[in-house]
Structure 1
Amino acid sequence: MLGIESSCDETGVAILRWEPDAPGKGLLAHTLYSQIKLHADYGGVVPELASRDHVRKLLPLVREALAEAGLRPADLGGVAYTAGPGLVGALLVGAAAGRALAWALGVPAIGVHHMEGHLLAPLLEDDPPRPPFVALLVSGGHSMLVEVKAIGEYTILGDTLDDAAGEAFDKTAKLMGLPYPGGPALARLAEQGRPGAFRFSRPMTDRPGLDFSFSGLKTQVLLAWQQSDQSEQTRADIARGFEEAIVDTLLIKCRRALEATGVHSLVIAGGVGANRRLRAELAAAGEKDGFRSYFPRLAFCTDNGAMIALAGAIRLASGQHQSEAVEVRPRWNLEDLPAA
């Protein structure tokens, strides 16, 4: 299975031999190109530039992955590509290339939901989770809690009402003058901050429910920064206070979701899933409350082709595939997916 990811600013390609009982052992190759340098001057992703760069990088990465796996194109048995959600131009690059390759090789193709790819990424590890579980999907564009009864049987328990967690990280870093991409830079700076120097609210934890809202937290940080001496230590202290607020909020909501569903397994995926403080706090909470957290390896927290190859392989194995039309869905509800 060839997997192609091109939903935003990273071009990912992977090749996976389908091993139902141990999917991670079948990963033969994965390559990734990040557009960070391309967008750094603009402080964020420029969709048109992203699309053009996917055009330049995708086929060379396919060739690189095939070479790494020791395969020829004719050895492929299927092609999976991200069909949404994401930037429409970027999605179309991967979808057009994936559909064309599948047509030329006479193999089936499948469009994959980007967030289902993230949700299934921990299955690539040696000790994968088994449904039912709750998934916390936290990235630049999404913050949601999902009840997973089986692959393809998803119920969204909570969603973001404005800024997602990753987006809040990036915007907060930018307003404090940190380099792009801001989220990882802010997390590194927070490690130098003093605990308790700044305390911000834990949004929407003072009321029932599992939805997220981080725009107000971002405003609190802006006011604190503007009213401070803006020294390097203060910058680090604010970064720590902000990160602690995000992590505490996610932890509170995860505990509520596990209690509401009665399950004892939690999957954390998406770019924010690489955050060290979040991983440590969830592991500690699990030991106390009796639940287990599953994370993908750091390379598979951010966008990548391996998760798309895996999700595509699972769905092709269940008999699903796409028509020959090139179709993408920039907005796509996870609950609309059929069972696999």
Structure 2
Amino acid sequence: MSQELGRLEDLPQDYRDDLKALNLVPLWPSLRAVLPPRVPTRATLATHWPYASLKPLLLKAGELTPIEKAERRVLVLANPGHGLENMKASPAMYLGMQLLLPGEWAPSHRHTPNAVRMIVEGEGAYTTVDGEKCPMSRGDLILTPTGLWHEHGHDGKDPVVWLDVLDLPLVYYMEASYHVDGARQTVKQGSGDRAWTRAGVVPTTMFHRSDKRYPMLRYPWVDTRAALVAMAANEPDLDCVQVTYVNPETGDDAENILGFYALMLKPGQTLSLPARSPSQVFHLIEGAVDVAVLDKTFPLVEADTCCTPGYEAVTLKNRSAEEPAFVFIADESPLHRKLGVYETR
């Protein structure tokens, strides 16, 4: 079949005017744009957000804007390929660096987009989600799934910063994005990370069955890191030392649109990731890692973040020959699988 299709300009102006009057559009002039051959059209650009450059601006925001005027004091990590005003890191992922200062409280609300918090630095802050108080420590992953009340507080002495990852672009595109304000939550007894504390043993369901859709909201980094180190020691020939954050009752992804993972790179290791359909976000928890995609290489240091477009291979290199490196990864795999478009090339 010919690759040359008719252009809109080939049609008589009066015919185009008749179409426009009836809100009609001819497909063939735009067919190759919406269905390109073999590889999708992608606006997502490989982008790096160095934390050392970002942090002073975030702290300055703390001086310029009180929490009462901000509600959520966030600098959005926007991908220039999508236009900064659209606040997207990728087609389905929003990223933001959020700051909470000692004594502050970010009021309770709930919203339709799913969110997670990856704690970047600081101690003494917490997120209360659906009545469960989740302490924040570096590397912890805390879920705030769709529809659940959540608020943030800080009883410590130093600023606390975390990385927000939301499926906001998708929910906004669906015209389903909104929030509801609420009263301060009453903290309930118990926490999911205590109930689901060790691999291989779980609460017996005949005596205990959670009535929560998300039985585990906080994934402590101390446990996740220990799991990665144990995997590497147990299987020294394993190339990809990675774990997936899951719902411990079902084994499904921790949330239903975006996927979240922790990866350990052994000292001096170079790991090649195949080209896959979803976009990916890499956030460095510990170490020094080069992220190479297309013609770009991003030298990540601790707390740096970058994103890569889908359908492109990515290479990760641990720059240290003595120490392992640990990377948090977010991607759109669950969404792609649900839509039936997930693929690896």
- The structure where strand makes up a greater share of residues is 2
Q: TM-score scaled to structure 2, two decimals?
A: 0.27
- The structure where helix makes up a greater share of residues is 1
Using CA pairs under 8 Å that are at least 6 residues apart, name the structure with larger relative contact order, 1 or 2. Answer: 1
Q: TM-score scaled to structure 1, two decimals?
A: 0.27
